[in-house]
Amino acid sequence: MASAWQMALSALQRNLDNGDKRTDPWLLVYSPVPVALIFLVYLCVVWVGPRLMKHREPVDLKAVLIVYNFAMVVLSAYMFHEFLVTSWLSNYSLLCQPVDYSTSPLAMRMARACWWFFFSKVIELTDTFFFILRKKNSQLTFLHVYHHGTMIFNWWAGVKYVAGGQSFFIGVVNTFVHIIMYSYYGLAAIGPHMQKYLWWKRYLTSLQLVQFMLFLLHTGYNLFAECNFPYSMNAFVFGYCVTLIILFSNFYYQSYLSKKKQK
């Protein structure tokens, strides 16, 4: 038993040491332990939070939400710019792009963009805390918790092993979607009088579904193309996108199509 445990630890250590040496020193990157602890705290808050708030009044977070959401718009716009410009200057291929593990200025710029994208997923866990404090428990769906909780692991692995290459495609598309999404949330936080300008809420879900379909097609192509990018990473992203398409499609149906039929 002890020998098997030592072998497992040795295999884990080799796996950690085989990461991207450029990103290993960066915050939260070298080991999955800090991210795992963040995830466990997140799950505890999701479970305990609504119970603690059950007999309390919702917290008024209007000013906080306005600042937070528009700050996320700025961060998303920055990351979108970095992914787009760096990939353009580096002559990235849209269909198949290996990771440049060098320390050239452009390669490091892309790696930093990937790290910021990963860290933004940690920041976005705050969305859930705001729901809990405002007693918006109907928003704490399996889709919400699953999507937020798993993204930090997905992009930890991205920064740890493939900080660049065709990962940029996910970064470009997702940050563009988040510019629109957090703009909506920021405007909605201003007050009820903004609702008449926010008729396009349902199209946010459609846009999210379109991005997942793009990711599915992109990674699906690379599963069969001869591309010097880890096959395991493409296979994982492909499977993950399938789960998100199923969950978001169900959400869209329940939120819009099903209610329309009932009316």
The residues, ordered by sequence, that sit 6+ positions from 229 with a Cβ below 8 Å of its Cβ are 96, 97, 98, 99, 162, 165, 166, 222
Torsion sign over Cα 160, 164, 169, 171: positive
Give the pLDDT of residue 209: 95
Helix or strand run (H / E) with residue 15: helix 2-17
Residue 163 vs residue 193, higher pLDDT: 163
Give the pLDDT of residue 7: 75
Give the pLDDT of residue 151: 97
The DSSP output letter for 20 is -
Is residue 41 a part of any domain in this protein?
no
Lowest mean pLDDT among 132-146, 182-196, 211-225, 249-263: 249-263
pTM over 0.85: yes
Q: Assess whether pLDDT exceeds 60 at residue 263.
A: no
At which residue do the structure tokens 């959400």 appear?
Answer: 251
Q: Mean pLDDT in the chain? A: 93
Is residue 7 a part of any domain in this protein?
no
Residue 7 vs residue 197, higher pLDDT: 197
Lowest mean pLDDT among 50-59, 181-190, 250-259: 250-259
CA dist 100 and 84 (Å) reads 16
Q: Are 41 and 127 in contact (CB under 8 A)?
A: no
Q: Assess whether pLDDT exceeds 60 at residue 141.
A: yes
Is residue 178 a part of any domain in this protein?
yes
Is residue 195 a part of any domain in this protein?
yes
Query: Which residues are known to be catalytic?
Result: 147
223-237, pLDDT tens digit by residue? 988 888 999 999 999
Is residue 147 a part of any domain in this protein?
yes
At which residue do the structure tokens 């990674």 appear?
Answer: 219
Q: Within a 10 A sphere around the Cβ of 172, how many other Cβ atoms?
A: 21
Q: Assess whether pLDDT exceeds 90 at residue 196.
A: no
Quote the number of domains for the chain: 1
Is residue 24 a part of any domain in this protein?
no
Segments forming the whole domain that contains residue 98 = 60-262
147-192, pLDDT tens digit by residue? 999 999 999 999 999 999 999 999 999 999 999 999 999 999 999 8
Q: Give the mean pLDDT of 46-57.
A: 95
Give the pLDDT of residue 14: 81
CA dist 75 and 166 (Å) reads 21
Q: Assess whether pLDDT exceeds 60 at residue 1.
A: no
Is residue 202 a part of any domain in this protein?
yes
Q: Assess whether pLDDT exceeds 90 at residue 125.
A: yes
Is residue 231 a part of any domain in this protein?
yes
Give the pLDDT of residue 5: 73
Q: Give the mean pLDDT of 26-30.
A: 96
Q: Assess whether pLDDT exceeds 70 at residue 259.
A: no
